[in-house]
Structure 1
Amino acid sequence: MSAKEKGDEAYNIGDYTKAINYYSLAINNAPSNSILLSSRAKSYYKKFDNDENVTPNQWKRVIEDCTSALNLDKSNYDALYYGGLTMFFQLKKEDKGLKMLENAYATSMGNARKFRQYSLPQEIYQSILRARKTIKQAEFEQSIQSSNPLYKKLMVLLEKDYQNQIDAVYSKNVPKEVLDDYTIKITMQRISDIKDLNSVFSNNFNSALLQKHDPPDHLCDPISLNLFHDPVITPSGQSFEKSWLWQHLSANEVDPLTRQKLTKEQCYPNLGLKLCVDEYIEVYGISTDL
């Protein structure tokens, strides 16, 4: 069994550290293999995900591997996807991250014949919706912060209280490890307090209107029930999210609603509907559960 095969096996059982080691060994023997680089990047991402102690420098390992993989093969959708996830959600480079995610979706659909199932494009589609929801939520919270005098006053009080606590602990003669531990606790409490403050000010009438506004049915894919991202229209006039429809057609080439024979070549992008979805998101954000 080759080092790559051992890496794939370790990845599939969730042993990401072992997968990274095997992929690294394989890369040493084949440094120009784009798939090996993106496989290691994916393993790094899975290992680091949900670990609050991972540093930005560690996350940059994902970006480095993804960048190297894309330099070798611009159509490597795994490199685009995991690079985009890392850029957007971990390194907070939202514009670049979202662009990479959208490129990953388009590229994965362009290589659709390689898939037996369309789970990866569907996963990317969900991540794009999650990213757009994150952007709208940040914009909304920023509008609250900039327009509400009471919010600003409370933020000033929080910052003063935080600084007073830091000054108090530094004024005491305690061991450095105790000092560091207490400083971390104060900082984590500050972050929690700010989140609570944002939540309180978000729970007003305008927020309810913005965040609890259910999208109309015609803007949602009838298969996944989520907002469209890349809608295509069938000869019957019904629109579907592309990745979900392609999944259906890979098993049975009939229209999901009319049951008439349907092929991918008969479907076309619904640009007007996509524009309507983009305008809806601009006004209301994304309220679907992702």
Structure 2
Amino acid sequence: MSPAASKRQADLLKQEGNAFFQKERISAAIDAYTGAITLCPNVAVYWTNRALCYKKRNEWTKVEEDCRTAIQLENHSVKAHYMLGLALVNRQKLSEGIKALEKSLELGRGAHPASYMVEAIWQQLSKAKYIEWESLSRERATQLRKLKVACKEAICNYNSLGNPAADAPEEQLNELEEVFKKAAKTDTPTEVPDHLCCKITLDIFRDPVITPSGITYERAALFGHLHMVGKFDPVTREALEPHQLVPNLAIKEAVDSFLSEHGWAYKIR
């Protein structure tokens, strides 16, 4: 069979796989995509489609394998990086999974900044980073408890020697409590400041853009408003076109700083 004929046959199998997938016939879809891969192994979409089937069945090792192959063939594939990230996170490879999700978010924002895919990636990235933060938080809490006990014992031992220059034990212990209380605040969820939240979604900014009137919105939410409601600023009601929006890099940096400081553990009003 010629390369052109193989590609035509592979595309037909891909279409069959898509039809099977929509009907929830996952095994049949996998067989169809596998046939397409056998005929044309250098087409990334066949691998990502099969990975999506494995994702449906929570077969994360196979998702990872197919997505890595797809990325080798097409490094800018948003879906491949996204599903690779999900697979790694579900296989408890958090650090590597977060990197893959961050890459998919970067690619998604560049290709389709207002798409549902970007929002889905952000949600999964937030969840993964929170899981990572929670794990590190537990480790820090254990270390703090051990250190606190050691410090208390040191204070008590020091005072038991009858050192005349030592402060009263109660005063020292109270100061110690304050120090460790402040240290623990790093791992306490905090509310997001108003200026870091979109006026439409009321959630923390992911991809903030600023309008000519000086108001910042979440890009996807504002695009939705312009498309569904009308081409005007939701707050000022002034006429507004998509090409007038400019990324608000200052707010994005402030959000990144807030998330870094608070470990992605935050509360929305």
Give 2:145's match in structure 1, choosing from 144, 148, 159: 148
Aligned twin of 2:42:
32
- How many angstroms apart in 2 are the aligned matches of 1:218 and 1:149? 38
Percent sequence identity over aligned pairs? 29
Query: Is it true that 1:274 corresponds to 2:252 in the alignment?
Result: yes
Structure 1 gaps, min length 5: 49-57, 153-203
Aligned twin of 1:17:
27
- How many angstroms apart in 1 are the aligned matches of 2:182 and 2:24? 44
Shift of 1:288: 4.2
Which SS does the other structure have where 2:255 is aligned? helix
Query: Is it true that 1:107 corresponds to 2:107 in the alignment?
Result: yes
Which SS does the other structure have where 1:232 is aligned? strand
TM-aligned CA distance change 1:277 to 1:70, over 3 Å: same
Aligned twin of 1:72:
73
In the superposition, the TM-score normalised over structure 2's length comes to 0.72
* Structure with larger Rg: 2
Shift of 1:9: 2.5
- Find runs of 4+ consecutive structure 1 residues off by over 6 angstroms: 204-209
Alignment of 1:55-66 (within 5 A): 58-66=59-67
TM-aligned CA distance change 1:277 to 1:248, over 3 Å: same
Which SS does the other structure have where 1:92 is aligned? coil
Query: Is it true that 1:44 corresponds to 2:22 in the alignment?
Result: no
TM-aligned CA distance change 1:5 to 1:142, over 3 Å: same
Query: Is it true that 1:139 corresponds to 2:140 in the alignment?
Result: no
Alignment of 1:176-195 (within 5 A): none
- Give the alignment's Cα RMSD to 1 decimal: 3.0
Aligned twin of 1:172:
none
Aligned twin of 1:287:
266
Aligned twin of 1:265:
243
Aligned twin of 1:125:
122
Aligned twin of 1:188:
none
Which SS does the other structure have where 1:148 is aligned? helix
Which piece of structure 1 moves more, 117-126 or 205-214? 205-214
- How many angstroms apart in 2 are the aligned matches of 1:18 and 1:150? 58
- How many angstroms apart in 2 are the aligned matches of 1:37 and 1:140? 37
Contact 1:118 1:244 survives alignment (8 Å): no
In the superposition, the TM-score normalised over structure 1's length comes to 0.67
The size of the alignment, in residue pairs, is 225
Aligned twin of 1:228:
205
Contact 1:118 1:246 survives alignment (8 Å): no
